[in-house]
Amino acid sequence: MKTIILYYSNHHGNTKKLVDAIQASDPENVEILDVTTAGPKDLSGYDLIGVASGIYAGNFGKPLLNYMSENLPAGKKVFILFTSAMNRASLSSSAKKVIEEKKCQAVGQYSCPGYNTFGPFKLIGGTAKGHPTKEELDAAVEFYKGL
């Protein structure tokens, strides 16, 4: 299945680790695209599109949301990946909103903790140190393979 994962991973590379693990599990079929360095891209030729981000103030990163709004073709199957200090399913609502607006189908979601040093957490050395773990990366790969 020809897949592309659009990602935004800004602070510690937590989300990029998930994306890299998935790509490494199926390098012939999975392409990754950093939305901060990519220009517009025709995504219509992909069978499956992943969107991946860390969580910033309760939302997916604005660069990813903007890229999705401008480039996501209608009617595609889309899966969601994210890392966050607080691992709650509702944190993907900003991405789901764009997916719905584009008349795409959300086909699954995977999330796990990510090392966080935002704001006051920096003073205590951060939270979720060591995340994502190898087990969490393996679980992300299994999630992808199950789609």
> 0.95 cut: is pTM over it?
no
Would you list the DSSP string of 32-78? Answer: EEETTT------TT-SEEEEEEEEETTEE-HHHHHHHHHHPPTT-EE
pLDDT at 84: 80
Domain boundaries defined on the chain = 3-145
Nearest-Å Rg of the Cα atoms of the chain is 14
Question: Is the model's pLDDT at 127 over the cut of 70?
Answer: no
User: Quick one: which of 80, 69, 138, 140 has its CA closest to 105?
Assistant: 80
CATH superfamily of 3-145: Flavodoxin domain (3.40.50.360)
Pairwise CA distance, residues 16 & 38, whole Å: 15
Integer Cα distance of 140 and 147 in angstroms? 11
Q: Are 127 and 121 in contact (CB under 8 A)?
A: yes
How much of the chain, in percent, has pLDDT values that exceed 70?
Answer: 84
pLDDT at residue number 19: 97
Q: Provide the Cα torsion 116, 119, 120, 124; round to 10°.
A: 40
